Structures are given as C-alpha cells and as structure tokens.
Amino acid sequence: MWSVKAYFETHYTIQSTQLINILILIIMKKVLFMMATLACVVLTGCQPQEQSQLDFADVEGKAVVQGYVYIDKGYIRDGANYVVKSLPAEGCAVLVKVPYSKYDADAAAGNKFFEGVCDANGFYSIEVPVGQAAITGVSVYTRPIVDKYYDLINGAIVEKDASYPEASASVELECGKIYTAANIYVQKGVESPIMTRSQVVKLNGLVKEQYEQQEYISGSLETKAGQRKVSQKVELAVTLTNSQYPTEKIVYNITTDLDGKYDLSANLYDTWNVANTTVKVETKAYLASVTHYYQEKNLYYGTWTERSQNVSGYYDSKTTSKYLSAGDLLIGTKINDIVLIFTPDKNNNTIYGIGNYDVDYDDNYNRIYKSVNPLGW
C-alpha cells in the first residue's frame, strides 16, 4: 500500500499525515469487502443442493431377495391317472416393493420397485439397496399373467388360456444378507367357458308313502296296502350323470312340497349329449308313524273284533332313475313316482297280529291277535 501513500504525497500538498492514513484505511476496507463477497459466492456453489427425490445410488448397502415361483397348470397325466400339478413359473416377472418411507422417514408417499424374472426352475434373485437399518414389511409379488391351463372337463383334458392374478409373499431385509422368501404359488383366476351349463331340462315328480288302509268291498271291511301323500316335506338328492363323461356329475339338493311334488330346472354341461344323460332321484329317510289294523279274539264267544294301533318307525331312502332324451330339453320330463316303504321300530313297539308268537298267543297256545299284515312286517 506504499504506492497509494506515495501517490498522495506526490500529487497533493497535505500538511497532516493523519488525513493520508484515513484515506488509506477506507480503500483497504473496500478491497477486503470485495474479496469476502467473492469467496462466499465460490463456497456457495460447492455446497450440495437438497434432492427433490431419493437417490438410491447413494445407498451403499445391498440385500438379495430370492425364491421360487410355481404356477398351477391344472391336470397333468401321470400314468393312468390325472393329477393336479404346479410347475416352475419360467419367465414370470417378480417385483420387490419397498415404501420410500423405509429409506427416509420424511420421504413422500410411494413405493420403489425392484424387478426380476424367474428362470426355467422358477427361481428369481433380486438385489435391493439397504442402508444400515433393517427394512421390514417388504412385499414380493408376481405380475398378473395369462398362460395355458389344463382342465379336466367331463373326463378329458382341455387346454385353455387362463388369467393368473398376482400372488405375494413378505420378507425383511438387512444389509449384506440374502433372504429366501416363501415359495409363491400362482393360481388361475378364471373358469373355462367350456364349463358353462346352458342346457336346461325341466324335471318333475311325485313322492308317496305306503300305508295300511281299510275300506269296504262288497259289504266287507278289508285291510290292504295303500299309497298316500307324504306326511311331511321330503328331502331329495337329484343327480345327473353322462355316460360319455363318467367322472362328472351334477347334484341338486331339493325338497318336495307337502303333497310330495317336486319340480327342478336342471342345468346340464353344454358338452353333454342329453341322450347319454341319466337322472337319479334319491329320497332321504325320515321318522314317521302309521296306523296298523289287527283283530283281537274273544275266547269266550270265539269272535274277532277290529282294533288299531299307532306304530312308530321310519320311511327308508329310495331311488328311481330315468334316461333323458333330446326331446326332454324341449318339453321336460316326468320322473317315475317314488313310493316309500315304512319300516316299523320293532324294538320299541309291540305290534299285534303279525305272527310274533310271544305277542299273538296266550299261555294256552290260543291265538288272540291276527292281522292281514299288508305291509309285510
């Protein structure tokens, strides 16, 4: 700064050196201010700017998620049989989903996805950035796909396109470790159109009960077997089968009305030939009672008097079948009537007149009870 001082001493006549020193001080302050300002600008440009989103390249730690994916391919022939098999899902895309918040608590909502593909064995391996803290709640899942599915339809294997929705598993990740997720099994999510059942055949029928009845014939009272409407609603199982597809069947569980009548609109598989279809109707057994008629002898007069008793028991199950025809699709068909047979509870009933020696005879071997026994007890 000596040159500044010399400049003033040379060009100006100043009596006091004090004034010169003041001017020098002012100039030096301005120079220092300019230098400080320049330094601040340089330093500011070197500072890292705040990131608008997470930079996963800065996450130095890594973890590996691996596992196997299997896909339900349906029925595969195994010798003489068909078995359901799941095969390796070759080419299936697998995603690992990690919420942004697992990396930065202040991060915006959303997820980071890391993707891999299954090899011929269904195996996948995906590398995921992991910091010092372990990451929990990580989802591993497959992308939805469309693939071939082999269905067993009416006894035959049918190939069809099926959609497979995503399937998933969960893992926890820690830096430097390999995690094997649980096996993922991808299941088909649609039903084959070939399984549609738009053929409709209308069925109807009648269920009756056998019972004992009395009526006058030519002036004489006679006891005989008769048929009546049911004493209660009867449960039925209606089964339809087709001889061309012996492994397939359609079952309806229905109930008669109080008159024993039933009606059913049965939906058959579209692949079935109606002429090869059989309908089987089976009743379910139920408890009931009937009136039993017998005669009691007056040993003194030798005459017989009409008597009756209530006998408890059950109506057993019974089956009837019918082959359908093509015309049944047009006008429907009536199933053969079912007449239920009554079975008495002989353990809890003393039934008179049916030939039980201990009941029908007295100690002197005289028969005192008899009946026509029309139901053959």
What pLDDT sits at residue 48?
35
Q: At what angle do helices 17-46 and 2-11 cross, to 10 degrees?
A: 140
Q: What is the CATH number of the domain that holds 89?
A: 2.60.40
Among the listed residues 39, 9, 5, 7, the one whose alpha carbon sits nearest the alpha carbon of residue 25: 5
Whether the model clears a pTM of 0.75, i.e. scores above it, the answer is no
| 369-376 mean pLDDT | 96
pLDDT tens-place string over residues 196-241: 788 999 999 999 999 999 999 998 999 999 999 999 999 999 999 9
Given a cut of 50, whether residue 13 has pLDDT beyond it is no
Residues 105, 99: Cα–Cα separation, whole Å: 10
- Together in a domain, 180 and 210: no
- Together in a domain, 211 and 168: no
Given a cut of 90, whether residue 67 has pLDDT beyond it is yes
- Together in a domain, 128 and 245: no
> How many structural domains does the chain have?
3
What pLDDT sits at residue 3?
54
Give the residue carrying structure tokens 């057993």.
316
**For residue 328, is it within any domain?**
yes
Tell me what the pLDDT averaged over the chain comes to.
84
Least confident of 22-26, 34-38, 340-344: 34-38
- Together in a domain, 93 and 117: yes
pLDDT tens-place string over residues 156-182: 677 777 889 999 898 889 888 999 998
Q: DSSP string covering 36-88, please?
A: HHHHHHHHHHHSPPPPSS--GGG---EEEEEEEEEEEEEEEEETTEEEEEEEE
Residues 372, 354: Cα–Cα separation, whole Å: 8
Q: Among residues 159, 191, 223, which one ends one of the domains?
A: 191
What pLDDT sits at residue 100?
85
**For residue 36, is it within any domain?**
no
- Together in a domain, 14 and 67: no
What pLDDT sits at residue 50?
38
**For residue 153, is it within any domain?**
yes
**For residue 40, is it within any domain?**
no
| 142-151 mean pLDDT | 87
**For residue 152, is it within any domain?**
yes
What pLDDT sits at residue 332?
96
- Together in a domain, 343 and 304: yes
- Together in a domain, 185 and 204: no
Residue 157 domain boundaries? 60-191
Q: How confident is the model at residue 83 (pLDDT cuts 50, 70, 90)?
A: confident
Q: How confident is the model at residue 47 (pLDDT cuts 50, 70, 90)?
A: very low
Structure tokens at 180: 């094997």
- Together in a domain, 75 and 181: yes
**For residue 35, is it within any domain?**
no
Q: Among residues 191, 213, 230, which one ends one of the domains?
A: 191
Residues 221, 212: Cα–Cα separation, whole Å: 13
Cβ neighbours of residue 251 closer than 8 Å, sequence gap 6 or more = 237, 238, 239, 240
Structure-model confidence comparison of residues 56 and 303, the more confident one: 303
**For residue 336, is it within any domain?**
yes
Q: How confident is the model at residue 300 (pLDDT cuts 50, 70, 90)?
A: very high
**For residue 75, is it within any domain?**
yes
- Together in a domain, 287 and 358: yes
Structure tokens at 166: 């995503």
Task: Return the H-helix or E-strand segment holding 330.
Answer: helix 328-331
What pLDDT sits at residue 246?
81
Q: Among residues 137, 158, 191, which one ends one of the domains?
A: 191
Cβ neighbours of residue 141 closer than 8 Å, sequence gap 6 or more = 94, 95, 97, 166, 167, 168, 169, 184
Given a cut of 60, whether residue 272 has pLDDT beyond it is yes
Q: How confident is the model at residue 39 (pLDDT cuts 50, 70, 90)?
A: very low
| 338-353 mean pLDDT | 96
- Together in a domain, 211 and 163: no
| 346-352 mean pLDDT | 93
- Together in a domain, 110 and 8: no
Q: How confident is the model at residue 155 (pLDDT cuts 50, 70, 90)?
A: low
153: amino acid identity, one letter: I
Q: How confident is the model at residue 21 (pLDDT cuts 50, 70, 90)?
A: low
- Together in a domain, 162 and 131: yes
